[in-house]
Each structure stands twice: as C-alpha cells, then as structure tokens.
Amino acid sequence: QKIFVGDQVLRIVTKDMEQVTLLKDLEELENLELDFWKGPTHPDFPTDVHVPFASLQAVKVFLESNNIQYSIMIEDLQSVVEEEKIQIIRSRSIEQMRN
C-alpha cells in the first residue's frame, strides 16, 4: 500500500507567464514524481502540486530560487489520509450499530 508520509501539497502562485513556463518545465522532470492536482495554466490561477517527501527540498529550492511564491496546502498528506480512514471506519461502525 502506497503511503504518503512527509509528502506535502503545495499551492503555488505565479506572478507572470514566465513563472508559469518555469512550472511547466518542473512538470516535465519525471524523476521528482510530482503529481499536479491543478496544473500551471495562468498567473490568475494557482497551481497545486503533490510533492513526495524525497523531492521536497529540490522543489522548494527551485521555487525559491526563481522567486515563485508558494504556501503549504497540506503539511503531511499521510496524516490527512489516516484521518479520512478513521472517519470511514467510524461511520461504518455507526451504521452497523444502527442496523
């Protein structure tokens, strides 16, 4: 089962098309195993990218060195997935009790 411990989801805000192009270049780097939840399209729209823990430093250095603004949308993806699993189990047991 794939786990996402330490993986983050970054919300990136670009200021011009040049930065959008830089993000598109980043998208091409397959070794980083990035998963673009919202792809880079236009400076008006943010980009959301799921970054595996192993690629975090490289991605953040890339963004910061190019003066591209970002914030951390999800700090630890695995913890949110765990929370979701607990919710599902809880709701299932409530249903079983009701039945």
Partner 1 sequence: TDSFNYASYHTLDEIYNWMDVLVSEQSNLVSKINIGSTFENRPIYVLKFSTGGTKRPAIWIDTGIHSREWVTQASGIWMAKKIATDYGKDAFITSILNEMDIFIEIVTNPDGFHFTHTKNRMWRKTRSINSGSSCVGVDPNRNWDAGFGGAGASSNPCSETYRGPRANSESEVKSIVDFVKSHGNIKAFISIHSYSQMLLYPYGYTKTPAPNQQELHSLARKAIDALSSLYGTSYRYGSIINTIYQASGGTIDWTYNQGIKYSYTFELRDTGRYGFILPANQIIPTAQETWLAITTIMEHTYNNPY
Question: Would you tell me which residues interact with partner 1 (CB under 8 A)?
Answer: 1-2, 4, 9, 11, 30, 35-39, 41, 45-46, 48, 50, 73-74, 77, 80-81, 84, 87-88, 91-92, 94-95, 98-99
Nearest CB to partner 1, comparing residues 21 and 91: 91
The length of the chain, given as a count of residues:
99
Site of tokens 């430093």: 57
Q: How far is the CB of 84 from partner 1 (least distance, A)?
A: 5
Nearer to partner 1, 16 or 95 (CB): 95
Beta-carbon count within 10 A of 19 CB: 20
d(CA 15, CA 37): 19
CB nearer to partner 1: pick between 15 and 90: 90
How far is the C-alpha of 75 from the C-alpha of 47, rounded, in Å?
16
